[in-house]
Amino acid sequence: MNKPAPVISVQNLTKAFKDNKVLKGVNFTVNKGSIFALLGSNGAGKTTIVNILTTLMRPDSGKAEICGCDVVEKGSQVRKSISLTGQFAAVDEMLTGRENLRIIGALRNLQGRKETADTLLESFNLTDAANRLVAHYSGGMRRRLDIAMSMVGQSPVVFLDEPTTGLDPQNRLAMWEIVKSMADSGTTIFLTTQYLDEAEYLADHIAVLHEGVIIAEGTLDDLKEKLPQGIVQLQFGNEQELQRAKSLLGTYKIRKGENELSVNIHTNGSAKSFADILNKLNNENVKILKFAPKQPTLEDAFLTLIGEVSHE
């Protein structure tokens, strides 16, 4: 059986702004019905990729296709297949929330747009504000409306560029469930996010963009496998003990822990390395309040991959 063609295909994509080479040959594919998360530091080029894929910007070289259509040569066809929620809410402040949604439905020639608007207003907890001018919405309400507008018409591919920025924890969780349900129904989601827990919760496939290229990609488990298999969390009673421990364990990779008096020590996972850590600290009478193995997270993988492991 032939493998289905990817919904999004990117090959050797490059883009520069004057002397600043933002993309230096980016390659990846996204399968139908999956949630693809693109991670990268600020300025890594995530939004540039989104702008190219959504036909808002032309690449300097390379090839990108959405649903088999080249984003440069067949831009109008691509735009019929996609929806985009950018980093800034694109809502009309002089209309109500319901009117914003119905206008998008009309632009998409959607049947039953009144019912669709009401359903989305309820899903995003905006029913009570449906007839209020968007000019009087809070920032979080505008963001929720903006995301709801991108879901009008059930586009096969939805781009979400840092979609939950500005949302409170409750609305973030609600948004995550909506995104998952969209993917379950066959919609392909392309997500960029600054929240690593968001990618960890949502994504089927993750790519890490750094200095203009994809340096790693795969499932969450694939990325975690690139980490040292033994991470130990140590917690101390005061700053002096913490600094003594850092000095004694300087041969290990050390990152900040969950609070100011804890650190995460990266080891090879062997019992010998654990014993070595304890012996070095015990021999110098460094008092440890907590010693516990720690499961690597996506944040650990991300920071390790881009070489930002702290030795402070």
**pLDDT tens digits, residue range 213-227?**
998 899 988 887 776
Q: What is the pLDDT of residue 311?
A: 36
- On whether the CB atoms of residues 10 and 62 are closer than 8 A, the answer is yes
Picking from 124, 131, 76, the residue whose alpha carbon sits closest to that of residue 100 is 131
Q: What is the pLDDT of residue 191?
A: 94
Residue at token pair 């924890």: 169
Q: Domain 8-220 class?
A: alpha beta
Q: What is the pLDDT of residue 245?
A: 92
Q: What is the pLDDT of residue 174?
A: 80
Is the predicted pLDDT of residue 107 greater than 60, yes or no? yes
Is the predicted pLDDT of residue 296 greater than 60, yes or no? yes
Q: What is the pLDDT of residue 306?
A: 74
Q: What is the pLDDT of residue 144?
A: 84
Structure-block tokens of residue 181? 């349900």
How far is Cα of residue 117 from the mean position of the Cα atoms in its chain? 27
Q: Helix, strand, coil: what percent of the chain each, to 5? A: 35, 25, 35
Q: Kindly report, residue by residue over 142-174, the tens digit of the pLDDT.
A: 888 888 888 887 789 999 988 887 778 887 888
Q: Angle 97-107/113-123 helices, nearest 10 degrees?
A: 130
First to last CA, the chain: 53
Q: What is the pLDDT of residue 228?
A: 60
Q: Kindly report, residue by residue over 56-83, the tens digit of the pLDDT.
A: 999 999 999 999 999 999 999 999 899 8
- H helix intervals, 11-138: 46-53, 75-81, 97-107, 113-123
Share of the chain above pLDDT 90, in %: 45
- In the DSSP assignment, the letter for residue 232 is E
Q: How far apart are CA 102 and CA 105, in angstroms?
A: 5
CATH number belonging to domain 230-295: 3.30.70
Q: How far apart are CA 37 and CA 32, in angstroms?
A: 14
Highest-scoring range by mean pLDDT, 127-131, 256-260, 287-291: 127-131
Domain segments of the chain as ranges: 8-220, 230-295
Q: What is the pLDDT of residue 309?
A: 38
Query: Considering the entire predicted model, what is its pTM?
Result: 0.77
pLDDT grade for 34, boundaries at 50, 70 and 90 = very high
Q: What is the pLDDT of residue 312?
A: 38
- On whether the CB atoms of residues 238 and 214 are closer than 8 A, the answer is no
Q: Kindly report, residue by residue over 1-22, the tens digit of the pLDDT.
A: 456 779 999 999 999 998 899 9
Q: What is the pLDDT of residue 280?
A: 93
Task: Identify the residue with better confidence: 201 or 175.
Answer: 201
Q: What is the pLDDT of residue 171?
A: 77
Give the phi and the psi of residue 7 in degrees, each rounded to 5. Answer: -75, -35
Structure-block tokens of residue 107? 């632009």
Q: Kindly report, residue by residue over 108-153, the tens digit of the pLDDT.
A: 888 888 999 999 899 888 999 999 999 999 888 888 888 888 888 7
